[in-house]
Structure 1
Amino acid sequence: MPGSTEQFTAIPGTSVPSPLLRELVHIALLGAGALLAGALALWVVEGPVTGVRWLMGGLAGWAFVLWQCHTRLHLNVSTVDNHPFTRLGTANRITLLRGWLIGATAGFLAMLPLQAHTGLLYVPAVFYTVAAALDGLDGFVARRQQQTTRLGTELDTALDAFGLLIAPLFAVFTGKLPAVYLLVSAAYYLFQWGIRWRQQRGRPVYGLPPSQVRRYLAGAQMVLVALALWPPLPGAVSQWFGIALMIPLLLGFCRDWLHVSGRLGTRQEPAA
Structure 2
Amino acid sequence: MTGLVRHRSPTGPGPGALAATAAAGAGLAALLAALPFATAHAPVLAVALFALVALVVRDRLAAHHPMDRFGAANAVTLLRAAGVAAFAALALEPALLAGSAAWWAAAAAGLILALDGLDGTLARRQRTASAFGARFDMEVDALFVLVLAALALGLGKAGPWVLGLGLMRYGFVAAGYLAPALRAPLPPSFRRKAVCVFQIAVLAILLAPPVTPPLSTALAALAFAALAASFAIDIRRLLRPPA
* TM interval, short-chain normalised: 0.7 to 0.9
Give the aligned CA root-mean-square deviation in angstroms: 2.9
Q: What's the counterpart of residue 153 of structure 1?
A: 134
SS of alignment partner, residue 113 of structure 1: helix
| Alpha-carbon distance in structure 2 between the residues aligned to 1:35 and 1:207 | 33
Aligned CA distance change for structure 1 residues 86 and 182 (closer, same or farther; 3 Å) = same
Q: Which of the residues 89, 98, 110 maps onto 2:71?
A: 89
Name whichever structure is richer in helix by fraction: 2
Aligned to 1:105: 87
AA paired with 1:245?
Answer: A
Query: Quick check: 1:171–1:229 contact (8 Å CA) kept in 2?
Result: yes
8 Å Cα contact 2:26-2:82 kept in structure 1: no
Deviation at 1:183, TM superposition (A): 0.8
1:248 aligned residue: 226
What runs of 5+ residues in structure 1 fail to find an aligned partner?
1-5, 78-84, 268-272
Query: Does the 8 Å CA contact 1:167/1:225 hold for their aligned counterparts?
Result: yes
Correspondence for 2:64 among 52, 66, 75 = 75
Report the identity percentage: 25
Among 1, 14, 17, the alignment partner of 1:23 is: 17
Matches within 5 A, 1:196-211: 196-198=177-179, 205-211=183-189
Q: Greater relative contact order: 1 or 2 (C-alpha under 8 angstroms, separation 6 or more)?
A: 1
CA distance in 2, matches of 1:207, 1:139: 19
Correspondences of 1:91-240 after superposition (within 5 Å): 91-114=73-96, 116-117=98-99, 119-198=100-179, 205-240=183-218
Q: Tell me the TM-score normalized by structure 1.
A: 0.77
Deviations 1:69-107 (A, max 9, x none): 234313322xxxxxxx22211111111111111111112
Q: Distance in 2 between matches of 1:120 and 1:100?
A: 18
- The alpha-carbon distance between structure 1 residues 63 and 193, as it changes in their structure 2 partners (threshold 3 A), is farther
From the superposition, tell whether residues 17 and 255 of structure 1 become closer, same or farther in structure 2 (CA, over 3 Å). same
Cα distance in 1 between the residues matched to 2:102 and 2:25: 22
Decide whether aligned partners of structure 1 residues 16 and 221 sit closer, same or farther in structure 2, where only a CA change above 3 A counts: farther
Amino acid corresponding to residue 236 of structure 1 in structure 2: P
In structure 2, the residue matched to 1:8 is 4
Match of 1:264 among 221, 224, 240: 240
CA distance in 1, matches of 2:78, 2:179: 31
The reply on whether 1:32 has 2:15 as its aligned counterpart is no
User: Helix, strand or coil for the counterpart of 1:116?
Assistant: coil
Distance 1:154-1:210 versus aligned 2 partners, 3 A rule: closer
Give the distance between the partners of 2:182 and 2:29, measured in 1 at CA: 43
- Structure 2: gaps of 5 or more residues: none
Aligned twin of 1:82: none
Deviation at 1:257, TM superposition (A): 2.9
My pick for the range that moved more, 132-141 or 21-30, is 21-30
CA distance in structure 1 between the partners assigned to 2:34 and 2:122 by the alignment: 34
- State the Cα distance separating 1:209 from its structure 2 match: 4.9
| Aligned length, in residue pairs | 242
Structure 2 CA distance for partners of 1:10 and 1:231, relative to 1, 3 Å: same
Distance 2:187 2:120 in 1: 21
Range that drifts further, 246-255 or 92-101 = 246-255
Equivalent pair of 2:4/2:132 in contact (CA under 8 Å)? no
Contact residue 65 and residue 159 of structure 1 kept, 8 A: no
Q: Is the 8 A contact 2:65 2:130 kept in 1?
A: yes
Larger Cα-atom Rg: 1
